[in-house]
Structure 1
């Protein structure tokens, strides 16, 4: 089941990238979408279980930049996954290392593809600078219980 979902996410990521390249006004430029971001949506009952067995009963879906998912919440942490899609779900947030923009909020999610450490199943963190939620943390998203 996970394999087929991963394949679907990869195909969707590739389709989104092709559309963004072909349609004017949809490209990501300067770390932000060229068009207005869609508001984040809370999805109750959207369950996820991470690689450690931690269970989450809802998520928040937001526009995001594609990029690296890191094992821990700081920019020098190993990259364990890659986010290919530009609208993704997140299960919680925590404070971590400050990014260039000064924001130290990081969002916990599962990447679309595994880059390293397969046991993590691409679970890790994206910095707030890559998540377009209007405010940080994203409304409706809980703080991670360990952070």
Structure 2
């Protein structure tokens, strides 16, 4: 477990996971700011447009 502290985080991939508060199953893979631990955050926790969350691969993000 780790924390994202900056307002401009990066994501190296995406996957389908549990339904989250955003109403979809998109989760983004990233690395935390405190310990450098890898993990996933729900799309509802980041500021992304619905079109990206609906199909991240169409926007150039690879699937994990």
- TM-score after normalising by structure 2: 0.79
Q: How many pairs are equivalent?
A: 59
1:122 is displaced (CA, Å) by 1.2
User: Does 2:17 correspond to 1:102?
Assistant: no
Which one has a larger percent strand, Structure 1 or Structure 2? Answer: 1
Query: 4+ residue stretches of structure 1 with deviation over 6 A?
Result: none
Whole-angstrom CA distance in 2 between matches of 1:86 and 1:112:
11
Rg larger in 1 or in 2? 1
Query: RMSD in angstroms over aligned alpha carbons?
Result: 1.5
Greater RCO structure (CA 8 Å; 6+ sep): 2
1:81 is displaced (CA, Å) by 0.5
Structure 1 residues 64-113: Cα deviation after superposition (integer angstroms, max 9, x where no partner)? xxxxxxxxxxxxxxxx1000001111100000011123211000000101
* Structure 1 unpaired stretches of 5+: 1-79, 115-120
- TM-score after normalising by structure 1: 0.37
Aligned to 2:11: 90
